[in-house]
Amino acid sequence: MASSLVRFPDAVRVPGLWFRITSDVKDLNDIDRAIVGVLQVEGRSTFAQIAQHVGLSPAAVHERVKKLEARGVITGYRAVVDPEKVGAGVSAFILVTQIAGPRGSLEEAFEGMPWVEECHHIAGEESLMLKVRAESTRALEHLIWDIRALESVERTKTVVVLATEFEGRPVAPMATDVALDEAQSG
């Protein structure tokens, strides 16, 4: 089946869906996406190693990486550790329902809790979803009680992770051109 590229100003149409393309995504070309892809898989790659992969000189790769960092596309580099080996082998997601009021202070409180790994605003009955790590189920219970004790928390719902198949996968930078099947786009 043949496919065609369909462009729309500031948006990409996939049958039944619209994606708004931010200026940052529009400014990423294939080489930028390849550089980001290499660094997500192996953040310790040298500019020379990346250059071999993308077909540029190490100096050109260095310049592009600096520009990607300056634009906020690349936000940092970190070591990936085994949670169990650092005393945080129990994972859970805690859904938090907030009492009506101004936002911000609760998120700041969660940011100050070392066992809270992620905090997301979500749609639905609950307002926030936390990804937490603890050394044991007993420690998780204490963390849940600490969260419930916060003034603006109405209630929580906890889902304990039994096993993790994968996490921390690289994010594939989206191209601004999306191939659509002609049969679907007509």
Give the tens place of pLDDT for each residue, 43-95: 999 999 999 999 999 999 999 999 999 999 999 988 888 899 999 999 999 99
Specify the domain boundaries for CATH 3.30.70.920 within the chain.
83-160
Highest average pLDDT, of 18-32, 94-108, 138-152, comes from: 138-152
Give the tens place of pLDDT for each residue, 128-145: 999 999 999 999 999 999
CATH number attached to the domain at 83-160: 3.30.70.920
Cβ atoms within 10 Å, residue 73: 18
pTM of the model: 0.71
Q: Which tokens hold the place of 144?
A: 């849940």
Per the listing, tokens 């080996």 go with 85
**Fold annotation for 3-76:** Arc Repressor Mutant, subunit A (1.10.10)
Distance CA 167, CA 171 (A): 11
DSSP structure class, residue 21: P
Helix (H) or strand (E) holding 144: helix 137-148
Q: Which tokens hold the place of 176?
A: 């601004």
